[in-house]
Amino acid sequence: MRILILGGTTEASHLARLLADDDRFGATLSLAGRTAAPKQQPLPARVGGFGGIAGLEAWLRENDIAAVIDATHPYAAQISAHAVAACNALAIPLGSIARAPWKREDGDSWIEVESPEAAASALGSTPARVFLSIGRQELAAFAAAPQHHYVARTIDSPDVALPPDIRFVHDRGPFDVAAEEAFLAQERIDMIVSKNSGGAATYPKIVASRRLRLPVIMISRPHKAQGAVLESPADAMRWLDAQLAHGASSSRRGV
């Protein structure tokens, strides 16, 4: 059974490892191409956009795909909407791995905002030292708040307009709490800007902020269209098994 995994996340890499040794499935992993040197994957990968819904539909048809798993990042809403539309149009089953958001705990001081622009404005007018931990695509929003000193952690350098006083730390998760706490203290950070990505890999900065009593400006999740909701890569494997069984029984019945 030929399947497509829309990836770029820890869950997609985990699912790729589960599928690599399972010869019942011929899986392709699709990456947006946001990082210059993506992690090595145990499955054939394709990189870059499909060209909208029509492009994705054409790719699914040409590659005879029988099921799709959307394992994209919680903030990658457009590709998920495209996956729902293309799979509906072609009647291809779609399963979506939904990563749970982090929940505010005692001691957390979160200011929830709707967008990177709202986060820049929530930083206030008094110059502050700000840790930007939101990836690189939306950093341009902070050019509107040039009074702050920013430390931005990204995998690659951005190619967008930036605030004048910004320094980059290039790194990728997973991170650990002690190192995050030491980093925030050493940089004398006053405020953190984060997405509510969920998962364990980048949660240590939230724990470190709690311990240091630092406010976190949390950019809310976008609405993400979904197929069948799957909780984990293991759940996705069970769902794929069911699709395979259903496909086999349909073909026995001549459906």
Query: Which chain residues interact with ligand NAP by CB under 6 A?
Result: 6-8, 30-32, 34, 49-52, 55-56, 72-73, 75-79, 82, 135, 137-138
Q: In the bound complex, what is the minimum distance in angstroms from residue 125's beta carbon to ligand NAP?
A: 26
Amino acid at site 37: A
Q: Which is nearer to ligand NAP, 137 or 249 (CB)?
A: 137
Q: In the bound complex, what is the minimum distance in angstroms from residue 63's beta carbon to ligand NAP?
A: 13
Q: In the bound complex, what is the minimum distance in angstroms from residue 161's beta carbon to ligand NAP?
A: 17
Q: Which is nearer to ligand NAP, 29 or 123 (CB)?
A: 29
- What lies within 8 Å, CB to CB, of 157 at 6+ separation is 136, 168, 170
What is the tally of helices (H) and strands (E) in the chain? 7, 12
Q: Which is nearer to ligand NAP, 8 or 93 (CB)?
A: 8
Q: Which is nearer to ligand NAP, 74 or 163 (CB)?
A: 74
Q: Which is nearer to ligand NAP, 30 or 194 (CB)?
A: 30
Q: What is the bridge-based pairing of β-strands 228-230 and 45-47?
A: unpaired
Q: In the bound complex, what is the minimum distance in angstroms from residue 251's beta carbon to ligand NAP?
A: 29
Amino acid at site 158: P
Q: Do 11 and 99 touch, CB atoms closer than 8 A?
A: yes
What is the C-alpha to C-alpha distance for residues 10 and 41, in angstroms, rounded to an integer? 11
Q: In the bound complex, what is the minimum distance in angstroms from residue 54's beta carbon to ligand NAP?
A: 9
Q: In the bound complex, what is the minimum distance in angstroms from residue 5's beta carbon to ligand NAP?
A: 8
Instruction: Extract the tokens encoding 67.
Output: 């099921």
Which ranges constitute the DSSP H helices of the chain?
10-20, 52-62, 77-90, 116-122, 177-186, 204-212, 233-252
Eight-state DSSP code of residue 205: H
Q: In the bound complex, what is the minimum distance in angstroms from residue 124's beta carbon to ligand NAP?
A: 23
Q: Which is nearer to ligand NAP, 203 or 211 (CB)?
A: 203
What is the C-alpha to C-alpha distance for residues 69 and 82, in angstroms, rounded to an integer? 13
Q: Which is nearer to ligand NAP, 63 or 127 (CB)?
A: 63
Instruction: Extract the tokens encoding 235.
Output: 């759940």
Tell me the C-alpha to C-alpha distance, in Å, between residue 67 and each of 8, 72, 97, 227: 18, 15, 14, 11
Q: What is the bridge-based pairing of β-strands 26-31 and 166-170?
A: unpaired
